[in-house]
Copies of this chain bind each other. A is one copy, B any other.
Amino acid sequence: MSQTDAPPPRPHPPVTPLAAGLPATVPFVGPEAQERARGRPFKARIGANESVFGPSPRAVEAMAAAARDAWMYGDPEIHELKAALAARLGLAPDAILVGEGIDGLLGYAARLFVSEGTAVATSLGSYPTFNYHVAGYGGRLIAVPYAANRADLDALLAAAKREQARLVYLANPDNPMGLWWSAAEVARFADALPEDCLLLLDEAYLETAPDGTAPEIDVARPNLLRFRTFSKAMGLAGLRVGYALGAPALIREFDKIRNHFGVGRVAQAGALGALEDRDWLAGVVRQIEESRAEIAKIAEAAGLAPLPSAANFVTIDCGRDGDFARRVLAGLLSRDVFVRMPGVAPLDRCIRVSCGRPADLTRFAEALPGALAEAV
């Protein structure tokens, strides 16, 4: 029998109807896959909102020390890290949930609250991985357009009420746009939500935001869950540690479904080391502020409009449509500068540049004029 006569593979046992209906798309293609496709590495990696400034040396030391002990499972109660977070935040440990990055925690939240047909409100063009989780559990996503480059709180509230949404997702500061609402405005939004609607407030970029961006943490409020992470300003994206803050009864629900041993020993140690080094974090935040200003200057010098940003990136309005911005992006990628852009209109008139070291931004500055010239 020749190879072309080989029988087709037999089908595997059927997945659930829900799983069968899911698309095969992935939320993000990593820069490594792009490098493999291109056949050469990027020279500036400023596309995934990672912290090029790296983790604290204390985190690095803690990971290296824990590496020798990596034969032991991590503490499933994540006691030490939760205690340190509790002390830092002035909360009881039972108001804190530590998990496998905000991605993992958002997945657990979707699993707890979303079944087929559950309405979930978010902003159109906001975090794709959240949408992926909601779709993955059969939720019905209500996507509310941004207004003036920010989540439209009034429209989001109206949509949540109208659709009887069980979850509302809000990133503050926003990703991918970088803008932010004040603590008072977020609190007003949260107060106005129906009691049976849970606000998932993603504060991944909080460390780099101005004072007055985060509402006070009130864990007596039963319909608010806040997400924070070691992946951004803390420089530990490759470790997978995030945490959520909320009412203890709500936090306890996650124990029914979370992967109890999912945050390993090395990850717990690294996060604890990072948390202890406040000076490092302060230094990184300063570098990010300088870098944001420099990215804005480069954009303006090229005739583009950078948006204000409270995050570790600057989103740049390329001033035309999505096709134009995609051509600019392609020009930057071909010049070995890894950046990303929002996925849907009208946000996709922008590109998003993560903060970088001076050498990274020099490469960006050198690449941008050529990319723009080619895109016209």
Q: Mark A300-320, 1 if CB is under 8 A from B, else 0.
A: 000000000000000000000
Q: Does A1 contact B (CB under 8 A)?
A: no
Q: Mark A28-65, 1 if CB is under 8 A from B, else 0.
A: 11101100100000000100101111110001100110
Q: Does A188 contact B (CB under 8 A)?
A: no
Q: Mark A1-35, 1 if CB is under 8 A from B, else 0.
A: 00000000111111111110011101111101100
Q: Which residues of B contact A249 (CB under 8 A)?
A: 9, 11-12
Whether B50 lies near A73 (C-beta < 8 A) is: yes
Q: Does A88 contact B (CB under 8 A)?
A: no
Residue in B closest to A241 when the chains form the complex, CB atoms = B264
Whether A13 lies near B67 (C-beta < 8 A) is: no
Whether A223 lies near B30 (C-beta < 8 A) is: no
Whether B70 lies near A270 (C-beta < 8 A) is: yes
Q: Does A76 contact B (CB under 8 A)?
A: yes
- From 65 to 85 in chain A, residues with beta carbon under 8 angstroms from any chain B beta carbon are 66-77, 79
In the complex, A13 Cα to B75 Cα: how many Å? Answer: 29
Whether A238 lies near B16 (C-beta < 8 A) is: no
Q: Does A250 contact B (CB under 8 A)?
A: yes
Whether B16 lies near A114 (C-beta < 8 A) is: yes
Q: Does A297 contact B (CB under 8 A)?
A: no
Whether A71 lies near B262 (C-beta < 8 A) is: no
Given A15-B253, A32-B79, A63-B266, check contact A9 B247 (CB 8 Å): yes
Q: Mark A280-314, 1 if CB is under 8 A from B, else 0.
A: 00000000000000000000000000000000000
Given A70-B236, A101-B261, A166-B13, check contact A24 B256 (CB 8 Å): yes
Q: Does A198 contact B (CB under 8 A)?
A: yes
Place the interface of chain A in its size category.
Answer: 35 or more
In the complex, A64 Cα to B270 Cα: how many Å? Answer: 11
Whether B67 lies near A55 (C-beta < 8 A) is: yes
Q: Does A239 contact B (CB under 8 A)?
A: yes
Q: Which residues of B contact A250 (CB under 8 A)?
A: 12
| Nearest Cβ on chain B to A240's Cβ, whole angstroms | 4
Q: A10-B195, A60-B70 are in contact. List 17 more A-B contacts (CB 8 A).
A: A12-B247, A13-B195, A18-B115, A19-B256, A19-B257, A27-B260, A28-B260, A32-B75, A36-B79, A48-B72, A50-B71, A70-B235, A100-B259, A101-B262, A237-B265, A240-B263, A266-B267
Q: Does A185 contact B (CB under 8 A)?
A: no
Q: Does A107 contact B (CB under 8 A)?
A: yes
Q: Does A113 contact B (CB under 8 A)?
A: yes
Q: Which residues of B contact A27 (CB under 8 A)?
A: 260
| Nearest Cβ on chain B to A116's Cβ, whole angstroms | 10
In the complex, A301 Cα to B359 Cα: how many Å? Answer: 68
Q: Mark A82-111, 1 if CB is under 8 A from B, else 0.
A: 000000000000000000110110010001
Q: Which residues of B contact A15 (CB under 8 A)?
A: 112-113, 253
Q: Does A196 contact B (CB under 8 A)?
A: yes
Whether A73 lies near B13 (C-beta < 8 A) is: no
Q: Give me the 5 closest cross-chain CB pairs, A-B, nearest first.
A: A238-B265, A63-B67, A64-B64, A32-B75, A12-B222
Q: Does A278 contact B (CB under 8 A)?
A: no
